[in-house]
A and B are shown apart, each in its own frame.
Chain A
């Protein structure tokens, strides 16, 4: 097997492919995307009140720069690199500017440049300097050698824009939804809908609702409000058509069929045509005018526009926005009607909106485009509002031709860079008009570098949308067969996000962009199809009916139709072309061949999706649906005959026959396999594919492993010195697993190892391994097993918002303790452990005089803090000690930053931030906290078998193998296996043992036999074990280390790769006898950080009552809680009235003799006497309750007995 580490200078392709959807889409945004956004923003128009001149304003020529430092002296490198941003806690962003063009009607265009702030730049995108860096250059710049990018750096934190699922664009779906009936009277639950997307990625949904009376209403959305228009009117708006033509188009009957009993569509066609007539609308102009008149107020258009113009505008801006030609729009509307009728008549079934074949992804770049469009439009609108407002106040001051004036108005536009930064920082989006996304929070997540598994999972995760998380039904969470090969069935968390947060399979790609020039591609496809026998759609002709003919649709545009029996021929040819197109992008595998492309075929993209839905009554509506647009899921499969790879999409996959490696020769009846999977790994995500022998495990265990793999303490990064992450875990002695899947090598996991091969014995030995506890051999821990470190970075920023310089780092200049003649007590930890000492160099030291070592400074905390107020590197800081000190220049007071927690930290690194400032005001202090395994820490194997360390068992007491002398590192209880059925772990142990004996790594990929590797691990490695002189089933005779007697049973021992999880007792333990209390009630506070307790609640109280443990109950609820002693007047029963009688001041002599101070006397202020006042113990809250009741004039008296 190849090794799992990276060689050479190139970043591995496999890793780059993982972030491909992010980078590709963002690159598109940087290039063509932003251009298209700006092009599609409509100009604003204002009319000057006095001159009556009309002025137009619009944007042009967007330029996004590259990140640069803002203050650089000449000659130095002005480039701002991602590392610098991380270390300084700033944002990696580049300038963004636009030309504001303005024009008075009939005159020349003037333009000026306006900067819109700084736009965050995705790392390794086109505008990032790291884009073309090789591994060596990366390391030189303090980056990870294998940096893959795909994230933004916001205030030093790496954040990822989450990929969200949304409805597939340009595909007409037929739905039944109860909610549709609530749209109004006569509405049924049936509708067809399409999501249309403009080239600038802004989208709008159109729906055709079926009414109970057989009519159809078309709905569309203007500024978040839904409007309905009768389809009969809309049908006439696009083109000049006669009623006869329209009737033919709607009914779409086969000439032979005409006059038959089946008149369903004809009836409805007639109804629709009558509908328009009912409104008195006959011609196209009338219909458009009607629309314009109706929607005039909603659309906010200048009053001088005619109704007809407004109607045209409506059609252009809100109806089928992805199409430009009216004929196309009409055809699409007709198609929607046909599909709706088919749904109503039961000819086709409804589509499942939760299935992946009707989904696509909202990619980071596309989200940026939508967000930019919204904000740029809002900017223009605000400029208009400002101008109009000023026109009202002072028309003469408005000089719309004066550059200075326009600049003044333009400067009032909001800073878009800031808004994008806010979006990335918080994940919240504030939109005015709504950008057709159903959520407004949760768009970004932090790309935590806990370990590599977790890190890369952030880039592969796909969320269904925040809306669905609240849904009470579980249908959306269901794993549907349509997801096969695109979404991993294993890798989803359990709990609330189960099934909503999914992960892409390793091979799944997402089309980041559409074709380079959509027009040429469309034309080429149309030509090729015409060559293959398609009848192009002509406005004059009506669409022929299904099932005899089948429609061909490209990206939501009807291209034409073909006889159904010719369809599969066309599809087969298109697939050949696709494979050939792919072969031009990547080398063909051996033995594969593709057709040669001729003429327009050469312009067909490899990513073309060819979904051929054949006709069958009750199936989805038939047709050949072609897609070239971005945001679609894609994955490679192999064509059976040509052996060439082909990219397939999720819609086409559902209607193809693809052989799975273990699927045999079968397939559906009457259908032969045309494609096959590349391997069984095709269904697994990267993380799920790293579980060895996952096919031997019970399936939920593999899900648990996917979770735990992401919580493992491992190797988070190689450039640790350049990473200021707030918290980072790292293990000291990671190893490469003996048993690994081929994914392990393919994804170069040796670069970021995550665990240790531990010798695991499965036996019930000490009683300390019950209930998923496990025992570690003390000597193994002594030698470094699972040793780890927690790195914490504190960013100390003394600057205030105003930027004043009062606070600076400076040492506390008072004399140190040891110079004041007081020796510091060696402090000890909570459990008696000794803290490490910092050794100082006194000025009298020999090394100062002879070896020119600098003597320790002579200030207060000189043992750990240097003369600049920042800590020494390598200094040990005890809990509660200060690790930096500051000086307030105004008050001349010193303050120290105290180390919180109960652990000793060692200063690892101090980074001073700020290039120009002379004052030291900002620094990142990285501390390291040793986290070697202690009782209570959590470990797990790679099979969802987690356990808690219960003992460091002495080496001499561990059982041993009499022949080899091997003592296990780890003991787990055999009861962990029967109910969980993680056989994979047993196989891993057996196989690793054989591998270790042979000195080989073992391929532990799942489903090997289905992939054609003839192997039986139990037999093969059993033979190897036997050859090496071990029992073939992994058992060994073992001797008890305590008694020296042999165990009656053979013990199963072998190496298993163990992960140390980040859940550690040091972060979680909570102890308290007494401590901080709530001021008002004097009850203990809650919260670990505050030193509070764990609530001893009602049910716990019940348990003690049931046991009759009265003393314990009293101790918990009273003594350890708000114990209080109060004076109570037995006469009136009040505890509020007794007051202490003023006692005359004791004389000085008496005060010295404290013991003899007479006990103070209390009197009752109500009864006026003090004779019957008793001291009683009661909870303080009770006294508080009484006081509160007294306020409300309620008296409560106690009866004393």
Chain B
């Protein structure tokens, strides 16, 4: 195999913000393909747990069985332990002990005159996996302050819902309920180059006008040097307003803005199934494993070709 001479780079990650369900980091010194691969994996290939099979015993609610099953499936489950499980579709070996199902029970009946909300808090956890539960799960007395859980259905007097829900491991590619993120996106860092020589031909007033033509605060006029500076390149929306303004001022080429092809600002919004940094790490892990698989199969293909005497 030939290897093309490419400048060797070490991708850098600098984390800007980490919250339980949000994180923002900058990935630099790599290509859009890598950034996109990371995004795609986070979106659809990081496994999580979600309810996949529902056995309904009693349902006298206003919503029908399929509808309730669908709603149950969409509840994010805290999936820290997802790696201990085997997905329903990837049991390739006959591992008798493979963990597959987490069984939740639900049995709610409305006996009062008021409407009763059935939420994810009404799911009874699997005693073997007490740490696998819906997000924002609480079983204590539910006052207004407490987390209410995800609303499933409302009951009136006499209505009864009894079911068994089985959660399994899966990936977002198969169904959106297994996506660990609400959204993940990366943004190209704009590369803004001001032609200072041309800029200096503008009067101060014109400079201010030009700066204000941008709907978002990207530039500022340094009061000391009277030079136009970039304050927040990220705020630029590729709206083209400043370029149009420059043209209107008769100074085409005043500024040159291109997206940088090696720097990406990632924003990950989690569903609560996993902490966001875990998602990122898991995604990288999945990617690595994919590369491993690829490498191995390439090697075996090479070996096969050698055998054939090619």
Contacts and interface: CB of A to CB of B under 8 A. Distances in A.
B106 interface: no
Nearest to A787: B70
Interface string B182-205: 011111100000000000000000
Given A778-B176, A779-B176, A783-B74, A955 B43 contact: yes
Contact of B188 (A784, A962, A964, A1029): A962
B33 interface: yes
Contacts of A1032: 215
Contact of B179 (A779, A962, A1039): A779
A1026 B215 contact: yes
Contact of B33 (A928, A961, A1044): A1044
A1046 B179 contact: no
Interface residues of A, number: 40
B276 to A, nearest CB: 13
Contacts, number: 92
- A interface secondary structure, majority: loop
A300 interface: no
7 contacts: A839-B55, A906-B65, A955-B43, A956-B44, A962-B186, A965-B185, A1041-B36
B239 interface: yes
A956 B179 CA distance: 11
B267 A965 contact: yes
Contacts of A966: 183
Contact of B185 (A780, A964, A1043): A964
Nearest to A1032: B215
A818 to B, nearest CB: 18
Nearest to B183: A965
Nearest to B215: A1026
A1029 B217 CA distance: 10
Interface string A869-913: 000001000000000000000000000000000000010100000
Given A779-B176, A928-B64, A964-B185, A874 B56 contact: yes
Given A787-B70, A962-B186, A954 B177 contact: no
Interface in B22-57: 32-33, 35-37, 39-40, 43-44, 55-56
A1031 B177 contact: no
Given A783-B74, A1029-B237, A955 B179 contact: yes
Given A965-B267, A1037-B237, A1044 B39 contact: yes
A829 to B, nearest CB: 16
A961 B175 CA distance: 22
Interface in B141-192: 172-173, 175-177, 179, 183-188
Contacts of A643: none
Contact of A789 (B33, B64, B216): B64
B136 to A, nearest CB: 19
Nearest to B34: A1044
B74 A1044 contact: no
B20 interface: no
Interface in A515-573: none
Interface in A1026-1064: 1026, 1029-1032, 1037, 1039, 1041-1046, 1050
Contacts of B32: 1043-1045
A1039 B238 CA distance: 13
B189 to A, nearest CB: 10
Interface of A: 732, 778-780, 782-784, 787, 789, 839, 874, 906, 908, 928, 930, 954-956, 960-967, 1026, 1029-1032, 1037, 1039, 1041-1046, 1050
Given A779-B172, A1031-B237, A930 B66 contact: yes
A1030 B216 CA distance: 9
Nearest to B235: A1029
Given A874-B56, A928-B64, A1044-B186, 6 more contacts: A783-B74, A783-B177, A908-B64, A1039-B188, A1041-B40, A1043-B36
Do most interface residues of chain B lie in helix, strand or loop, or is the interface mixed?
Answer: mixed
Contacts of B129: none
Which 8 interchain pairs have the tightest Cβ spacing? A1044-B36, A965-B185, A965-B183, A782-B176, A779-B176, A962-B187, A956-B40, A1044-B32
A906 B173 contact: no
Contacts of B101: none
B185 A962 contact: yes
A849 B66 CA distance: 29
Interface of B: 32-33, 35-37, 39-40, 43-44, 55-56, 59, 64-67, 70, 74, 172-173, 175-177, 179, 183-188, 215-216, 237-239, 259, 267, 269
B80 to A, nearest CB: 23
Nearest to A1031: B239
A688 B179 CA distance: 41
B59 A874 contact: yes
Contacts of B186: 962, 1039, 1044
A432 B64 CA distance: 53
A783 B176 contact: yes
A787 B186 CA distance: 31
A967 B176 CA distance: 13
A930 B185 CA distance: 34
Given A778-B176, A965-B267, A1044-B39, A906 B185 contact: no
Q: From A1039, A1046, A1050, name the one whose CB has the most chain B CB atoms within 10 angstroms.
A: A1039
A955 B39 CA distance: 11
Nearest to B40: A956
Given A1031-B237, A1045-B32, A960 B185 contact: yes
B185 A1046 contact: no
B240 to A, nearest CB: 9
B91 to A, nearest CB: 17
Contacts of A779: 172, 176, 179
A1045 B35 CA distance: 10
A784 B66 CA distance: 11
A1176 to B, nearest CB: 50
B57 to A, nearest CB: 8
Contacts of A1026: 215
A778 B177 CA distance: 11
A965 B215 contact: no
A954 B64 contact: no
A956 B185 contact: no
Contact of A956 (B43, B70, B74, B215): B43
Nearest to B31: A1044
A496 to B, nearest CB: 39
A1029 B234 CA distance: 12
Nearest to A1026: B215
